[in-house]
Amino acid sequence: MKDTKKIKVDLKDNPYEIIIGSEIISEIPEIISPIIKRKKLYLMCDENVGSIILPQIKEVLDTAGYELYTSLISSGENSKSFNVLEETISELLDHGIERTDTILAIGGGVIGDLAGLVSAIIFRGINFIQIPTTLLAQVDSSVGGKTAINVIQGKNLVGAFHQPKAVISDVNFLSSLPEREIKCGLSEIIKYGILGDKDFFSWLQNNREDLSNLNQECLIFAVNKSCSMKAEIVKKDEHEKGERALLNLGHTFGHAFEKHFSNDNLLLHGEAIAIGMAYASKFSASIGVCSQEDTDSVINLISSYGLPVSLEEIDGKISQTDIMKIMSHDKKRSNDKNTLILIKGIGEAYINEEINDSQLVDFFNQENIH
């Protein structure tokens, strides 16, 4: 496989590879053959990519002699629910899925999360393989084994850690994505520069036009860099007992915003995280741990990629009370204290587990959120 990058996620019990390249669909049978126990595959696919990418994948798998069953899942966060989880498991059981079978998750983060959780709990765990088709999923959600559904109290509160057996990321898939979805993926890429790599942050500043225009060399570099950074963190802390929380930079604020606007399509995940990272940087400056210069650099980089950096840019209303209520259910909250991922500077994220509600109230007042 020429021009293909491979990253080893070197976990003690569940090692696997991330394969990143362009036009590597034809290589899928070769990649998965050492993993598959029998030649029957269950494909869980986002209905939005069902007519574009799915036929190409099915053709190469059919040619390689695999028996296939396909389950199309509605797009959007509403599919990450108990109802869809139960319906999907029942459907797979009705079609004869066995413990030795493998699920292929083909789509964005929603499909990866749902298929991963189905794989984690059906027969107490079967194999699954991630084939992410969005930039956001390729650089973040497909790697690391977090699987989850949403509940009324918040995002990703019910789930399991269940590592895939492989992640296959073809950047050629991204050409069919709407511009808004591309920007959402760029938000997560920017996150890696902010949290742990000043040189990558500078690269993002210098290569904005090529990356935004989906230059394949730049894309492969950015996806590889993001996945490599995440793989190193996951290797040290697979089940998020410590350092892995750094990957949640922008997510405590962002998930609250995303949850509030979830039914209106006013704010997608990557957009919410962009605002969340801007606010995390501002909060860091407000408590004196980060310089205003670095905070401004973070906000300017996010904004330069066409992403929002303030709730004032969203055509909807959210109150301080709304935000605080949702944040009270955050997974990282402990002993009535909030955990925020903050920055001491560009490339220097850290975990602060001692944020009082009163500090958040003061910050929201400062940002004219009442």
> Any idea which residues carry the catalytic annotation?
124, 146, 188, 230, 240, 244, 248, 251, 255, 269
Structural contact between residues 199 and 49, judged by C-beta atoms closer than 8 angstroms:
no
HSE at residue 153, side-chain half, CA atoms within 13 A, is: 8
Q: Provide CB contacts within 8 A for 46, sequence distance 6+.
A: 72, 73, 75, 106, 107, 108, 110, 111, 133
Structural contact between residues 119 and 128, judged by C-beta atoms closer than 8 angstroms:
yes
Q: Where are the alpha helices (DSSP H) in 140-250?
A: 179-196, 198-206, 208-212, 216-236
Residues 273 and 279: their CA atoms lie apart, in Å, by 10
Coil/strand/helix, residue 177:
coil
Q: Where are the alpha helices (DSSP H) in 147-197?
A: 179-196
H or E element that contains 156: strand 154-161
Q: DSSP letter at 242?
A: S
